[in-house]
Chains A and B, each alone.
Chain A
Amino acid sequence: MSLLRLAWASLANRRLTAALAILAIAMSVALLLSVEKIRRDARTSFTNTVSDVDLVVGARSGAIQLLLYSVFRIGDATNNVSWQSYTEIAARPEVRWTIPLSLGDSHRGFRVLGTNEDYFEHYRYGEERSLRFATGGPADGADGADDGAFGDLFDAVLGSEVARTLGYRVGDPIVVSHGTGRVGIVEHDDQPFRVSAVLAPTGTPVDRTVHVSLEGIEAMHADWRGGARVPGQSTDPDTLRAADLRPRAVTAFLLGLDSPRAVLRVQRAINAYANEPLLAVLPGVALRELWNLVGVAERALLIVSSFVVVAALVNLVSVLLASLEERRREIAILRASGARPAHVFGLLSAEAGLLGLGGIVGGLALHYALVLVGGVWLEKRFGLATSAGPPAASDWMVLGAILVGAVLVGCLPAWRAYRHSLADGMTVRI
């Protein structure tokens, strides 16, 4: 019978206190792993959202704010970019493509994005992946010809999450609200849109976006002046289809350039643009700024969860120390059977190690349960894609450190048991 089996049997004999000590460690491990995972997944998720975009351009504000509202649909823009500035910059020779973005409306809590066909062609996420239509799409017009995703003025392309949550199919009508609140205060119910396509899931904010054409946004606001509806006025859809709906402004736009070398030059030109105060940012740089900002909070969370782990280890020591009194007899029997003090020491350390290991395994299980359950919620609430992948190398190091920590703190009760076993001799206390 090996020492480890003996430790195991002894633990099994005190399974309630052992289980509680394991639970404490498991919960702390799960907390630590989950905090780390959310941190990493948030970064991956954000990084994955913009791929292949050289510059993000908007009205002058902060780089982080621009990135957040334009790409991640978080927060709102303070100002717009005039259509003229947009066309002038888009016409620069270095520019390969542009994606105009017009924000400010919503549909039942999901943002509505006005853009054009270039969005579906040039937008990239993850590892240079382009958007795919799950149902409907360019060749799905009434005539079967390729008339683009926005073949009709009132065509809307839904992100996968929008379609799934609200149960929309291609052909369904939708009504867009003014403003971005969860419940639209004023509805554009005079101009109903029609779902023309649903995009395949991307794990980015695209999934939670309702895409319409820039002209669609204009049409929606045709009877509106100064943020309110003109009473009694309602232009019928066919008149609007025939009207000139050239947008007056966009909220922001994404730029793709011919060569990476042109990025800084174009950025300087836009930031020094004379007609209007504009801001161009490199997504990577803005993201780094964002991480610097949230890094403080992340570190605070990490420190708190580390303390929870330490608390669990302290609890482990107290459980082991409390068990020593009732185990003096057990230790005396072992000593009488020839166990050396080293064996007693090893037994207690092995026990601490087993409890630590149990806590780690339990913590991993709890962590994955959390990821599976909480991941759905995170994705829904924040569009944060989480994946239940294997622990990262840094996680293994943390887990290893916790195990070593458990064995180390187990040395305190082990040392006390050792001292007892020397002092008690063969006197067996009952």
Chain B
Amino acid sequence: MRGASGSGKTTLLSLIGSVIRPDTGRIHVDGVALDSLAGGARDTFRAERIGFVFQMFNLLPFIGLVDNVLLPCRFSAVRRARAMADGGTLEAEARRLLTALGLDVDTLGARQVSRLSVGQQQRVAAARALIGRPPIIVADEPTSALDADTRHDFLELLFGEVAAAGATLVFVSHDRELETGFDRVVDLAGVNTAAAQSRARGVEPAP
């Protein structure tokens, strides 16, 4: 997903993540009509089916590397059960993901997460988003703070793990160089123009 600042990227991600509700219209994600879900059900939906990666500052500085990765398992029984099934124990699954994303847990585990490099932090965030295999990974410009080499490595590893988990990756960026690796690219500016024209003609946009 591509779009200039203020084009509504974060709003769209919040809608997909079911953090906010649309004022009008319908929204279906992973077969669920989010606009008709009650508060508690939306929380459950998000906990079970969405993995988030933010632009930066993804980690809680006061808990360890593995605990950060395991946060979603604290709030979703489904993801906890799946992570257990995948790795044997929660800890083992967290370690497996971190290793797969190129982090050496034994060396880095003792370090405070705030001491990790930005690239390492983003990988931890990716591991957290991936644990328990949620069907959708939402990443809000996760590479904007990384330099070109790190960005490339990060994307390679992320793609690999997303494919392994069988998940859909919704990735926001304004960096056109990255577009080649994705199946579809949506320009939010175009979508907005289309929506504005539909509204002007009094046509309800297609779901």
Contacts and interface: CB of A to CB of B under 8 A. Distances in A.
Interface of A: 1-2, 6, 9-10, 12-13, 329-330, 333-341, 343, 425-428, 430
B46 to A, nearest CB: 6
B46 A333 contact: no
Given A335-B19, A336-B54, A338-B72, A426 B14 contact: yes
B101 interface: no
Contacts of B173: none
B59 A333 contact: yes
Most buried by A among B19, B20, B48, B128: B19
A426 B60 contact: no
Nearest to A337: B71
B52 interface: yes
Interface of B: 10, 13-14, 17, 19-20, 39-40, 43, 46-48, 52, 54-63, 67, 70-72, 74-76, 79, 128, 140
Given A1-B67, A1-B74, A428-B54, A338 B48 contact: yes
A338 B134 CA distance: 11
B62 A338 contact: no
Nearest to B47: A338
A425 B140 CA distance: 13
Contacts of B17: 336, 426
B46 A338 contact: yes
A381 to B, nearest CB: 48
Contacts of A343: 75
Nearest to B63: A9
B130 to A, nearest CB: 12
Contacts of A6: 63, 74
Closest 8 CB pairs of A and B: A338-B47, A338-B75, A13-B62, A336-B52, A337-B71, A340-B43, A425-B19, A426-B14
6 contacts: A1-B71, A10-B60, A333-B59, A338-B48, A338-B79, A430-B56
Nearest to A335: B19
A339 B40 CA distance: 11
Contact of A427 (B14, B52, B70): B14
Contacts of B40: 340
A335 B47 CA distance: 9
B57 A334 contact: no
B8 to A, nearest CB: 12
A197 to B, nearest CB: 66
B72 A337 contact: yes
Given A10-B62, A426-B13, 15 more contacts: A12-B62, A330-B60, A336-B52, A337-B47, A337-B128, A338-B46, A338-B72, A338-B76, A425-B14, A426-B14, A426-B19, A426-B20, A427-B10, A428-B55, A430-B56
B10 A329 contact: no
A336 B17 CA distance: 8
Contact of A334 (B20, B54, B71, B79): B71
A339 B70 contact: no
Nearest to B90: A1
A168 B48 CA distance: 81
A71 to B, nearest CB: 60
Nearest to B76: A338
A428 B75 contact: no
A6 B63 CA distance: 8
A333 B60 contact: yes
A143 B13 CA distance: 105
Contacts of A334: 60, 71
Nearest to A424: B19
